[in-house]
Amino acid sequence: FASVSPCPSPPDWASAIASFEGGPLVAEIFPATLRQSFVACKRQELNTFALNVSDFEIETYLESV
């Protein structure tokens, strides 16, 4: 793996999941079943977090409207 160049970190969680899912190096290292399970788990976590709005987000929105 020494020949693999580093790439910039994805800007958000959804992009990181997509990057992991489509990464050629990831496909070489991890079996397909593990990759699919990991991606499904991370998407479920992302969806769960997206449903929760923090007090900070509410306050910020109310102050700007």
**What is the model's pLDDT at position 4?**
65
> How many domains does the chain fold into?
1
pLDDT confidence of 64, banded at 50, 70, 90? confident
**Whole-prediction pTM:** 0.72
24 is in which domain, residue-wise?
A: 13-64
**Residue 60 domain-assigned (yes or no):** yes
**Residue 58 domain-assigned (yes or no):** yes
40 vs 57: which has the higher pLDDT: 40
**Residue 46 domain-assigned (yes or no):** yes
pLDDT in tens, 9-52: 899 999 999 999 999 999 999 999 999 999 999 999 999 999 99
The span from the CA of 37 to the CA of 44, in Å, is: 11
**Residue 47 domain-assigned (yes or no):** yes
pLDDT confidence of 3, banded at 50, 70, 90? low
**Residue 27 domain-assigned (yes or no):** yes
List all residues 6 or more positions away from 19 whose beta carbon is below 8 Å from its beta carbon: 7, 10
**Residue 8 domain-assigned (yes or no):** no
